[in-house]
Amino acid sequence: MIAASAGVRALAWWQLLRGANVFTAASNVVAGFLIVQGAWRPAAALAALVAASMCLYLAGMALNDVFDAKLDAVERPERPLPSGRIALKSAAAVGWALLAGGLALSWLAAAAADQPMPGLIGVLLAFAIVQYDRSLKATWIGPAAMGWCRFLNVLMGASISPALIREGPALGYAALVGVYALALTQTARSETAGPVSRMLRVRNVVTRMIQGFIVIDAIAATIAAGWPSGLAVLALLIPTLALSRWAPMT
């Protein structure tokens, strides 16, 4: 009975954090890193950047539901917060802790790279995430704000470069990913509107588009650092697809 209860709680947290999605944040960072470095070095800085991005992404997922708790009680009562499986205060504490952890890791990456840009990008990304979740998501600028978050996430990886402003390919790729995220977010806005059959189709499209980040990043990694690197990034689809069976990605 205790094991079953623990399993239920773990599943609720997994649903809250949309854990399978986090590998798309990691693939963004790796792609940005490989575009400017052409290799997986320095490994310590890359590991810190990936960890920072993943923490910030999970923070965004938790805080998203915290700020949307009242709306989800009407539109998505099955979610962990409105269903009562996770307390609002607990979700908020975890969200803010993950945000702080992501910021700390971004500055750890800055120390490993011996330059401040990773930490500065981390601050910008954390601020953008909170603003999107708190006030921008429901406005007309919401899709663009999400695109900006993904743009910054790619730059998180590229920030290892001491001259980021001159990294044209990385900036261009970050912009491409940002536009893709904008289109995805615009599509997702119709996920809770209309008949159930339509909502399910939209949800399936949005899920495939989220997974598509990894495919796009794998292509970029292949161009930047060769096919073994591309396959390594594409392999992130394996845990994404496997873990998405436990909870929806949207």
Domain ranges of the chain: 2-243
Q: How far apart are the first and last CA of the chain?
A: 30
What confidence score (pLDDT) does residue 193 get? 56
State the amino acid at position 161 in one-letter form: S
Confidence of residue 246 (pLDDT cuts 50, 70, 90): confident
What confidence score (pLDDT) does residue 1 get? 46
**CA count, 13 A, side-chain hemisphere, 208:** 7
What confidence score (pLDDT) does residue 118 get? 97
What confidence score (pLDDT) does residue 73 get? 86
Q: Assign residue 212 a region: left if phi > 0, alpha if psi is -120 to 50, beta otherwise?
A: alpha
Cis peptide bond N-terminal to 42, omega within 30: yes
CA dihedral 65, 71, 74, 79 (to 10 degrees): 0
What confidence score (pLDDT) does residue 140 get? 93
Three-class DSSP category at 162 = coil
Picking from 146, 92, 113, 101, the residue whose alpha carbon sits closest to that of residue 44 is 113
Of 70 and 226, the one with more pLDDT: 226
What confidence score (pLDDT) does residue 189 get? 81
Is the pLDDT confidence value at 131 over 70? Answer: yes
What confidence score (pLDDT) does residue 8 get? 78
Confidence of residue 191 (pLDDT cuts 50, 70, 90): low
User: In percent, how much of the chain has pLDDT > 90?
Assistant: 78
Tokens of 158: 């590229």
Beta carbons within 8 Å of 104's beta carbon, 6+ residues apart: none
Q: Picking from 23-27, 75-79, 94-98, 219-223, which range would have the lowest pLDDT averaged per residue? A: 75-79
The average pLDDT across 60-79 equals: 91
**Angle, alpha carbons 21-123-212 (nearest 5°):** 25
Give the whole-angstrom CA distance, residue 27 versus residue 246: 21
The average pLDDT across 197-216 equals: 88
Is the pLDDT confidence value at 9 over 90? Answer: no
Q: Assign residue 226 a region: left if phi > 0, alpha if psi is -120 to 50, beta otherwise?
A: left
Q: Assign residue 205 a region: left if phi > 0, alpha if psi is -120 to 50, beta otherwise?
A: alpha
Is the pLDDT confidence value at 127 over 90? Answer: yes
Q: CA of 24: how far to CAs of 8, 61, 115, in Å?
A: 25, 13, 26
Is the pLDDT confidence value at 4 over 50? Answer: no
- The yes or no reply on domain 2-243 and CATH 1.10.1060.10 is no
Give 46-50 contacts, CB < 8 A, sequence gap 24+: 46/157, 46/160, 48/105, 48/106, 48/108, 48/109, 48/112, 48/118, 49/105, 49/106, 49/109, 49/118, 49/156, 49/157, 49/159, 49/160, 50/26, 50/157
What confidence score (pLDDT) does residue 68 get? 93
The average pLDDT across 71-78 equals: 87
Given a contact cutoff of 8 angstroms between Cβ atoms, the answer to whether 142 and 188 are in contact is no
User: Mean pLDDT for the chain?
Assistant: 92
Is the pLDDT confidence value at 36 over 90? Answer: yes
Confidence of residue 248 (pLDDT cuts 50, 70, 90): confident
Q: Picking from 76-80, 121-125, 173-177, which range would have the lowest pLDDT averaged per residue? A: 76-80
Tokens of 48: 């810190």
